Chain A
Amino acid sequence: MELKFLVVDDSVTMRRIVANSLRNLGYDNFVEAADGKDALTKLTSDDQINFIITDWNMPVMTGLEMTKAIRGDERYVKLPILMVTTRGIKEDIVEALQAKVNNYVVKPFTPQILKEKIDQILSNL
């Protein structure tokens, strides 16, 4: 299966870092969004997107709100969502899991962790 990633982060720097990391892992196909709302627009207009990597803290619509919106749409119930965020406290992680993210990475991340989590999600599909 060819993966097309949607990288969602309000920080240009983080979007570039995640994109570079994906390229290093051999994934060249990705689009970017600056917040949850922008991501929803891109997701609904591109049916090739089959993996989302998202930040939590963003203006307009947070990553958590976006995840809930995506999971509320039956077309995207199984769409892989990886949360990459600075938020590392238990309550946040549990909240994200309850919103049905597939996995969770804390920033600053390493490429090994990113790869491990992507592989784990893909193997559980």
Chain B
Amino acid sequence: MSKLSNISNMAQVFDKLNDLKMLFTYGQKLIPIIKSLVDFMHETVPLLENINSSISDTTSKIPKASNQINNVTSATELATTEILDIVDSISNDITKLEGALKVHKEESEKRDEVFNEIKLMLGDSPKAKELIEKYEELNVTTRNMDELLTIFAKIRDDAYNITLSLQVQDITSQQLAAVNHLIESVHVRLSSLIIDIDDTDLQEYDSTGIEVPDDATFDPNASYDKSAERQEQVDDIINKENEQASQSEIDKLFS
């Protein structure tokens, strides 16, 4: 009985030794993998540190970029105001010139009427005829004034069209505000990433210094599209909505 028990124990010992051998064999296979993992860690840690430093660097630069965008908006608004001042001044001068020219034209027309009366009184004198022809050749004032008035009207229209084109400033400032808003979102995400990685003080990366545009102050889809199509599409929508509204009012009356 005791002999049988010893044999059974020995078999268990061999089984355990076999398991141990398999473990060593497995361990031998695992060592290169662990080694390559350690190598990978060695290579990755500086890379991660580099990434962390880059994120940190980028994050610290974001407020500056954001402020530069705000400066661009302010500068273009200032420049646009200056252009509007100049255009208004040109328009005012043109209006004054037009007024003066119209008065001058009326006076010239009166002078021509007087001259026509004098012409009739001069009779058939050849010398008088010659002088009259010469005078009429030189007297192109009235005709020139009409041309000048047309040119002035064109300058005024052109100046007004410059004014209208300056709507681009409002539209681009809305686009820039949308970019600024996006930058702020990136800033917040990067800051929280740094805090997660580095346990850095939140104060260091807070958004102080960034003038974040309020959502309500800009349209992210603003575009400088001068085609008539856009307004036509708007008009179509309005017409359809109004038709639907009218129909629902009629339906209410009959229900």
Chain A residues within CB distance 8 Å of chain B: 9-14, 16-17, 20-21, 24, 56-59, 62, 85-90, 93-94, 97, 103-111, 113
Cα of A17 to Cα of B84 in the assembled complex, Å: 9
Cβ–Cβ contact A93 & B169, under 8 A? no
Cβ–Cβ contact B167 & A107, under 8 A? yes
> Per-residue 0/1 for B154-198: is the Cβ within 8 Å of any A Cβ (1 yes, 0 no)?
000000100111111111011000000000000000000000000
**20 residue pairs from A and B, CB less than 8 Å apart:** A13-B167, A14-B167, A17-B163, A17-B166, A24-B160, A58-B217, A59-B217, A86-B221, A88-B234, A93-B241, A97-B238, A97-B241, A106-B230, A106-B231, A107-B170, A108-B171, A108-B225, A109-B164, A111-B160, A113-B231
Residues of B within 8 A of A109 (CB): 164, 167, 231
Cβ–Cβ contact B233 & A14, under 8 A? no
Residues of A within 8 A of B165 (CB): 108
Cβ–Cβ contact A57 & B234, under 8 A? no
Cα of A84 to Cα of B82 in the assembled complex, Å: 23
Q: Does B237 contact A (CB under 8 A)?
A: yes
Cβ–Cβ contact B217 & A108, under 8 A? no
Contact-residue bracket for chain B: 35 or more
* Distance (whole angstroms) from the CB of B222 to the closest CB of chain A: 4
* Distance (whole angstroms) from the CB of A99 to the closest CB of chain B: 12
* Distance (whole angstroms) from the CB of A114 to the closest CB of chain B: 10
Cβ–Cβ contact A86 & B166, under 8 A? no
Q: Does B218 contact A (CB under 8 A)?
A: yes
Beyond A12-B77, A13-B77, A20-B160, whether A87 also contacts B169 by CB under 8 A is: no
Residues of A within 8 A of B238 (CB): 93, 97, 103-104
Q: For residue A65, which residue of chain B has the nearest CB? A: B216
Q: For residue B216, which residue of chain A has the nearest CB? A: A62
Cβ–Cβ contact A59 & B216, under 8 A? yes
Beyond A11-B173, A13-B80, A13-B81, whether A90 also contacts B164 by CB under 8 A is: no
Cβ–Cβ contact B216 & A58, under 8 A? yes
